[in-house]
Amino acid sequence: MALFILRRLGVMVLTALCMTLIVFALTNLPPNLEKLAKTQAGTRITDDEVHSWLERNGYSAPILRRYGEWLGVVPASVATDAAGNVVGGRCLRGVRSTSIERVPRYCGVLQGEWGYSTKFRVPVSDLVTERLARTGVLMFWAFATMVPLALIFGVLAGMREGSVTDRTLSTISIASTSTPEYVSGVVFVVVFASSAVGLKWFTGSAKSAVNGITFENFTLPVATIALYGMGYIARMTRASMAEVMTAQYIRTARLKGVKFRDIVLRHALRNALIAPFTIVMLQFPWLLTGVVIVEALFVYPGFGDALVQGAQNNDIDLLLAVSVVAVVVVLVTQLISDIGYALLNPRIRVS
């Protein structure tokens, strides 16, 4: 087991490296850098000024070298003026002193330096932590609504395949998988929050949720995220449950004289939940898209909003941090899903 986890961690690191390299390469394409220079130093600057701005801020070195700088395995290049004072460069961002001795040589991820957001003008680590906390709350509630509902739906539907309950719940699940967040969000706002035709039960913006979550301002975003994922998990659970219910060992249990309720709870449930468990965990990368959409639609300044802002303004350090966080979340959930699968499924555990 330990070896397995170790190997998975290795793959994780490799994946994260590949991914950040891709993100790094895409954000550092010349047109993107030019755009960055213009947003930072003024839109009307000449090409020469763009060039010197990039030079001064350490954006002109070869891409792999700068990737190494970001990682913290290559000393960061610094631009100094005639007096020997540091005027620019990766490590200067966020540091007050300009004397060369006070500026650290390495300032990459390995040193805990995530860089400085050019859009928000704060250290990336502070920004990301704050945003992640907000999104975490949103995700928590979304999961807390979505997963139990989906599992109950799936188990009830798959328990007796072909029954009226099954047909009804399956139709609901299909409808829910067909409703992406930007559709359900729009419909929810129109129905429940719109001042023109709606019921006005909830608010159509979650901006105030930053200062405190209330039933009014948080219901719609949570429901919007939960709805799209719910149908998918419910359908997987149903399929898995229906398959288990036709298994020979369920017949054995039935012919042993076990009560239907006990067949479902003791014999079927554990076997039926193995597959959905994996699915639930793999929902995280999907949920991220949902989070971005919902945060945009309901104006909630969370992690998704940071991603959008970072991308729209080519905020390189922010985007890199965002993608590291995203990939870590994805891979950790994959790892948990594998371990959980092994724990739930005694057949795997031994080998």
Partner 1 sequence: MRKTDADGPILEIDSLSISFFTRAREIPAVMDFSLTVQPGEAVGLVGESGCGKSTVALGVMQDLGTNGRIVGGTIRFKGRDLAQLGREELRDLRGCEIAMIYQEPMASLNPAMKIGRQLMEVPMIHGGLSAKQARAMALRMLEDVRLPDPRRILNAYPHQLSGGQQQRIVIAMALMSKPSLLILDEPTTALDVTVEAGIVDLVRDLGRKYGTSMLFISHNLGLVMGVCDRVCVMYSGEAVERGSIKDVFDDMRHPYTQALFRSIPRPGADKIRHPLVAIPGNFPLPHDRPGGCNFGPRCSYFEAGRCDAQNLHMAPVPGKDRHETRCVRFREIDWNQPLQAPDRAARAQVGEVVLEMEGLRKYYEVTPNTLFGSGGKRVVKANETLSFDVREAETLAIVGESGCGKSTFAKVLMGLETATDGKITLDGREIQDKPIHKRGRALVADVQMVFQNPFDTLNPSMSVGTQIMRALEVFGIGRSDAERRARMLEMLDLVKLPRDFANRRPRQLSGGQKQRVGIARAFAGGARIVVADEPVSALDVSVQAAVADLLMDLQRERKTTLLFISHDLSIVRYLSDRVMVMYLGHVVEIGATEQVFAPPYHPYTEALLSAVPIADTHLQKTRIVLEGDIPSAMDPPPGCPFQTRCRWKDRVPGRLCERVLPPDIPLGEGHRIKCHLSADVLAEMEPVIKPAAT
Partner 2 sequence: MEQLSWTGALGPWLNPAIGAAVLAFGIAAIAHMFVALLTAGQRLQHAPGTAARHSPLAYRLTRGGLSLALGALVVVALAYLVGGILLPPDQKGIIGYLSTRFLPVWIALGLTFALSFAFRRRLGLYGHLFDNPVGMIGLGLVLFWVFTAVFAEMIVTFDPVRDVLPGMKNRAPGTPLANPAQGQFDHYLLGGDMLARDVFSRMVAGARVVLAIAPAATLFAFMVGIVLGLPAGYLGGRFDSILSFAANLVMAFPVILLFFLLVTPEIVEMGVPAYMAAVLFLFPIIFLVILWNARYRTHPMRRNILVGLTFLIGGWLYLGLAWDADPLGLISIPDGVLIVFVSVVFVNSPTVFRIVRGLTLDIRTRDYVAAAQTRGEGAWYIMLWEILPNARGPLLVDFCLRIGYTTILLGTLGFFGLGLPPDSPDWGSSINAGRGLLQVFPFPPLVPAVAIMSLVLGLNLLADGLREESLKD
Q: What are the residues facing 79 on neighbouring strands? A: 88
- Residue 270 CB, shortest distance to partner 1, in Å, is 5
- Residue 109 CB, shortest distance to partner 2, in Å, is 18
Partner in contact with 83, chosen from partner 1, partner 2, none, beta carbon below 5 to 8 Å by kind:
none
How many CA atoms does the CB half-sphere of 200 hold within 13 Å? 3
Partner in contact with 135, chosen from partner 2, partner 1, none, beta carbon below 5 to 8 Å by kind:
none
Q: Please say whether the beta carbons of 174 and 289 come within 8 A.
A: no
Options 110, 162, 167, 282; binder of partner 1; rule CB under 8 A: 162
- Which tokens hold the place of 217? 């301002």
Options 119, 154, 267, 324; binder of partner 1; rule CB under 8 A: 267
Options 17, 19, 61, 247; binder of partner 1; rule CB under 8 A: 247
Distance separating alpha carbons of residues 50 and 132, to the nearest angstrom = 33
- Which tokens hold the place of 257? 């004289």
Question: Cα separations (Å) of 302 from 44, 247, 290, 294?
Answer: 32, 45, 12, 10
Distance separating alpha carbons of residues 169 and 272, to the nearest angstrom = 17
- Which tokens hold the place of 206? 């979650």
Question: Cα separations (Å) of 232 from 240, 260, 283?
Answer: 12, 26, 9
| Residue found by looking up tokens 């290795």 in the block | 10
Options 121, 171, 270, 312; binder of partner 1; rule CB under 8 A: 270
Residue 145: name the closest of 20, 4, 290, 45 by CA: 290
- Residue 1 or residue 83: which is nearer to partner 1 going by CB? 1
Which range touches partner 1 (CB under 8 A), out of 35-43, 61-69, 125-133, 269-277?
A: 269-277
- Residue 7 CB, shortest distance to partner 1, in Å, is 6
Specify the DSSP element, H or E, that contains 78.
strand 78-80
What is the largest distance, in Å, between two alpha-carbon atoms of the chain?
Answer: 91
Q: Does 259 bind partner 1 (CB under 8 A)?
A: yes
Options 251, 265, 282, 312; binder of partner 1; rule CB under 8 A: 251
Judged by the rule CB under 8 A, the positions of this chain that interact with partner 2 are: 11, 15, 18-19, 23, 26-27, 29-32, 35, 160, 164-165, 170, 174-175, 177-180, 182-183, 186-187, 189-190, 193-198, 204, 260, 285-286, 288-289, 292-293, 296-297, 304, 307-308, 311-312, 314, 319, 322-323, 326-327, 330-331, 334
- Residue 87 or residue 269: which is nearer to partner 1 going by CB? 269
Chain residues in the site for partner 1 (CB under 8 A): 3, 7, 10-11, 161-162, 247-249, 251-259, 266-267, 270-271, 274, 344-347, 350
